Amino acid sequence: MGGIHRTNHGLGDSTFFARYTVWQDNHAGSSFRIAPILGVVAPTGRDTYRDTLGVQPRMFQPGSGTWGALGGVVTTYQTLDYELDSSLSYEGFSRHGGYSPGNVAEFDASFQYRLLPRTLGAGVPHFLYGVLETNPIHTDHSVGSPFPPSGGTEWFVDPGLEYVTPRWVLQGAIENPVRRNVPAGALRDHPIYNVAIRFNF
């Protein structure tokens, strides 16, 4: 019958989380911190998107239609020249209309090296860091959506840049899938482009 091309667009689900530092060990020129994170995934995305062929399968919808919860822990070791971060997190989802996306377990590790300024002087300057991250992600099978097959494990390697000021941080990275172990016929990720801004309070 030939290939079928279907597209959609729109706001996806939103993740809101809080991070609180429960332990820190500060020394001249270095700091180590441990911080748990707790959050919620809100169904802000549309989950009834239609095209000329009818309602699209749930896996293709911009939103899942379900609520989720997020928990994890973040560790950070920072010096004047570089920073090492790692996080372990788990997202669990409820069921809506007989559908539930697969729960997600993720490990992230990041190395950030100061590119500018080359030498440190007085005051608190702005910083530019080169970033290299790695992200193994395991996703369970979704419930209530037999097509396409879902679940599996993917591994991403992400180069990027980070611009840091005393009040805000601007980040950009490209997530490149380098290894996949997913069911035959499952959706596959292309490189993902991420841009984020973070404000400090």
Does residue 113 lie within any of the structural domains?
yes
For residue 146, pLDDT beyond 80 = no
CB atoms within 10 A of CB 82: 13
Over residues 78-87, mean pLDDT: 95
Q: What is the mean pLDDT of the chain?
A: 92
Measured between alpha carbons, how far is 133 from 84 in angstroms, rounded to an integer?
10
Does residue 5 lie within any of the structural domains?
no
Over residues 26-44, mean pLDDT: 96
Does residue 145 lie within any of the structural domains?
yes
Does residue 2 lie within any of the structural domains?
no
Give residue 171's domain range. Answer: 14-199
Q: What is the pLDDT of residue 188?
A: 80
For residue 137, the surrounding DSSP H or E stretch is strand 127-139
Number of structural domains, the chain?
A: 1
For residue 1, pLDDT beyond 60 = no
Q: Which residue do the tokens 């060990």 mark?
A: 25
Q: Which residue has the higher pLDDT, 187 or 14?
A: 14
Measured between alpha carbons, how far is 89 from 19 in angstroms, rounded to an integer?
12
Measured between alpha carbons, how far is 183 from 151 in angstroms, rounded to an integer?
7
Over residues 15-25, mean pLDDT: 95
Does residue 3 lie within any of the structural domains?
no
Report the percentage of the chain scoring pLDDT > 70.
99
C-alpha angle 77-139-33 in degrees, rounded to nearest 5: 15
For residue 139, pLDDT beyond 90 = yes
Please give the model's pTM, rounded to 2 decimal places. Answer: 0.85
Report the percentage of the chain scoring pLDDT > 90.
69
Does residue 45 lie within any of the structural domains?
yes
Does residue 63 lie within any of the structural domains?
yes
Does residue 98 lie within any of the structural domains?
yes
For residue 118, pLDDT beyond 90 = no
